[in-house]
Structure 1
């Protein structure tokens, strides 16, 4: 059980845990935010979303798997007990979220596509409220409202901007996967080390995507043409390696570490900074310059994250018991 404190300051250990969690969350958000711009360079040369996400997830799985096995320390029973959880994580949080997001990027700009995916924090709040009775406080709801208003401005709906319905549909699919990612990543009760959960999910995601490709349900098209960005052309393998090592391997492991320290609700709102990172990377790599109203929206998103943090800091999370 958690202890609600409204006046007493947070213990030093809790403060340290919060600081580490915020650092991991920001690393995860920044690295995830790079994925859309990098993938767009490959998609424009003829790569299909399926091939792009498969190679990205497979490279990450190959890198993280040895670390996951080491973190288990021979506790195979722990992995067997959590088979269903790992499969769900791999199917929805890894394969589903990434494939839907890259599919959305085919129909719309990176920033708006990611924005739709990151309605996930609202879904997390509702899930925790309905499933676990964790009713959000007034401060948390205020922060959520600010973030939601900022996201609307980033999407720039009011200006009548052209919005692709297929892109929106794919983005909503990515939202379901992202919400699953935040909820499962924050679950400490399963006992799985972060590296083990990340490795298992990435392996399952690779197998699912590979199977869909083999049976023809997901087109797999790739090539060796150079990828073109605002900074110039680069060999195809450069964005491929960055997608696998940075935007998947680093992102998933640091994201799980953040969720364990912050909880799914706060971690999901801090992860909204990924939207801002994606907009910046899209500007630098794709010349997709955000409008002034989108920049104002970004400021509101950050303000919302800060307010949510203030609301969540009233809840002191107990330190995990080391066995």
Structure 2
């Protein structure tokens, strides 16, 4: 009876976690096409990121303040986690990725960054002796193979050692996102972690722009998508509320329910979401090989989920 109850609790936790993970991946996936529209209208990539995280912080900070209920000591006890989350998981990852793109193809940079689940598995194995089972490893290989097909790398793509180095830094930052999202003393709400991290990350990006590490410039030009044109403020609003506020909060919830390992592999669905949104908003239809890759990612995530349930 106890075993059956425990099994039911595990299934419920995994189910809730997967729902949060899908919401997070879908929200994150929308950010790319919206950001592309703003950049085509004259925005710099760093400006898009900075506005995105600061709008999200403005949305979440009041909610986080209510959740704290005046317990400011909770922030003090988790200050290192919140600061690390903001500087590494938010600002650091974004800066590293855009610097990588400046030296190499976007697809190659994405492929390197999205090997983060392997880094998560390695970290949990070395640091916490959480050795992955054979089923988890098989699902991981399927997911990474599918990711390579979805990105659809072209032969002879130009790259550089500087770009590779920056992409590896972005990969470490993405891995840190999943590891840090699962941390906390059990009393820190996910919204508080997300709000604090986004606020610190946004300020860090503004500081990076002020000293010339990244270029910050924006325009009020209309934003043109495939079949419609809208004012600049609407994609900015959606970027902040949906692709950052909702994405980070649901991502933290997913990681705390699923664990860093399964959550990091489920996040590969973000690539599929980005592909679908790019098709709808930018007219970038996926190739057949990308559809095959998408199927492999889905199968890989299901296999990893099975492996994590068996371990649990």
Say whether the fold is shared (TM-score over 0.5).
Answer: yes
In 1, Cα distance between the equivalents of 2:66 and 2:97?
A: 31
Aligned to 1:313, what secondary structure does the other structure show?
helix
Bigger CA drift: 161-170 or 223-232? Answer: 161-170
**CA separation of 1:255 and 1:288: change in aligned 2, threshold 3 A:** same
Q: Does 1:124 align with 2:82?
A: no
Which of 232, 237, 246 matches 1:236? 232
1:160 aligned to 2:164? Answer: no
Q: Matched residue pairs, number?
A: 310
1:218 matched to 2:230? The reply is no
- CA deviations on 1:8-67 (whole Å, 9 max, x unpaired) are 785323222221111111000000001111101111222112111110000000000111
Stretches of structure 1 that go unaligned for 5 or more consecutive residues are 1-6, 317-323
Matched, 1:274 2:258: no
Q: Secondary structure at the match of 2:183?
A: coil
Q: Matched residues in 1 for 2:168 and 2:135: separation?
A: 27
Contact 1:61 1:202 in 2 (8 A): yes
SS in 1 for 2:224: strand
Per-residue deviation, 1:246: 0.5
CA contact (8 A) 2:133 2:311 kept: no
Give a deviation string over 1:157-208, Cα, whole Å, max 9, x none.
Answer: 4x51635547655543332221111001112435311011011101111111
DSSP 3-state at the match of 1:33: helix
Matching of residues 297-312 of structure 1 within 5 Å? 297-312=293-308
Query: What RMSD over aligned residues (CA atoms) do the two structures have, in Å?
Result: 2.3
Question: Structure 1 CA distance, aligned partners of 2:287 and 2:102?
Answer: 21
Quote the residue 2:43 is aligned against.
47
**Where do residues 1-323 of structure 1 align in structure 2 (5 Å cutoff)?**
10-102=6-98, 113-157=109-153, 159-160=154-155, 162-165=157-160, 170-189=166-185, 191-316=187-312
Offset at residue 101 of structure 1 (A)? 3.9
**Range moving further from structure 2, 217-226 or 185-194:** 185-194
Which structure has more helix as a fraction of its residues?
Answer: 2
Unaligned runs of 5+ residues in structure 2 are none
Instruction: Note the C-alpha offset of 1:142.
Output: 0.6
